[in-house]
Structure 1
Amino acid sequence: MTATDTTTLVDRYLAAWNATDPAARREAVAAVFTPDARYVDPLADVRGHDGVDALIAGAQEQFAGLVFSPGDVLDAHHDVVRFTWHLGPAGAEPVVIGFDVAEIADDGRLARVHGFLDRVPG
C-alpha cells in the first residue's frame, strides 16, 4: 500500500467514526472494515460490521458533538499502519487522544484495529 493509499484509508476510518447518520455510518463501516474485522481497545472488543457500528454509535452518544481528526503520527509498512487521532470540538484542543495500530487485509480494508487511549477525560 502506498503512503497516499494509507492516508486515504485512515481518513476513511476517521470519517466512519464521524458519520452520525446511521445508514451512512453503516455504509462507511462496510467500506473500511472487512466483514470479520476485530476492533479492540481498553474499553471494547467487538467483531464484524455490526459490532463496529454499535461501538461507533455508542462513542458518538457518549461524546456528542465531538469529532475525530488525524493526529501527528501516520506510519505504515507491509500490511500494518499506526496512527494517532484526536477527539474533541472541531478546531479546538482534543479531549481524547488515541493511538491505533491496524492490520490491512488484501482487499485494502481493515481486518484488525488495536486501539490505545493516550489521554482521556478524568
Structure 2
Amino acid sequence: MTDFTALAEQYIALWNETGPARRKMIDALCEEDVAYTDPLAAVRGRDALDGLIGAVREQFPGMVFRLGGPVDGHHDLARFTWHLGPRDGEGIVTGFDVVVVRDGRIGAVHGFLDKVPAAA
C-alpha cells in the first residue's frame, strides 16, 4: 500500500531541489519512462523531467513549492494541490496534480494550473 502523503512530499521536495541531488531523487521516486504533462509542458523520461524542473527553478529563483492541503489517494492515483511562492509568503502559482503510481513509484503526473501570474 502506497503512502500517498509521503510520496507527494517527496515529489514536492524534488521540485525544490536545485542541485545535483535532484536527479538522484528523480531516479528514486520516478519510473524510467515517467510522463509529465501540464498546460505548458509535456515531457517523458527522467532526463526530460529533470530538465523541466531545472527550467522552472531558473524561471522562479528563490521560490519554493509547498503542498496546499491534504493528499487524497486511492488505488494507484493521488491528487494534491501545491503552491509556488516566496518561502514566507503567499503562493504566486497554484496547481493541482494527479499522480499515477506504479509499484510505489511515480509513472505519470497530470498537472493543472489554477493560478498563474499575469504576463508583464
TM-score, normalised by the number of residues in structure 2? 0.95
Aligned to 2:6: 8
CA deviation digits over 1:70-111, x for unaligned, max 9?
A: 0124100000000000000012100000000010011x1100
Verify: 1:64 aligned to 2:28, yes or no.
no
Aligned to 2:18: 20
Distance in 2 between residues matched to 1:73 and 1:99, nearest whole Å: 12
Distance in 1 between residues matched to 2:98 and 2:40, nearest whole Å: 16
Distance in 2 between residues matched to 1:29 and 1:35, nearest whole Å: 9
Distance in 1 between residues matched to 2:28 and 2:64, nearest whole Å: 20
Q: Which consecutive residues of structure 1, in runs of 5 or more, have no partner in the other structure? A: none
Quick check: which one's helix share is greater?
1
1:39-78 paired onto structure 2 within 5 Å? 39-78=36-75
Number of residue pairs aligned between Structure 1 and Structure 2: 118
Q: Which consecutive residues of structure 2, in runs of 5 or more, have no partner in the other structure? A: none
Verify: 1:89 aligned to 2:82, yes or no.
no
Distance in 2 between residues matched to 1:69 and 1:32, nearest whole Å: 18
Identity of aligned residues (%): 53
Letter of the aligned partner of 1:9 in structure 2? Answer: L
Distance in 2 between residues matched to 1:104 and 1:111, nearest whole Å: 6
Match of 2:110 among 109, 114, 120: 114
User: After the TM superposition, which parts of structure 1 deviate over 6 Å for at least 4 consecutive aligned residues?
Assistant: none
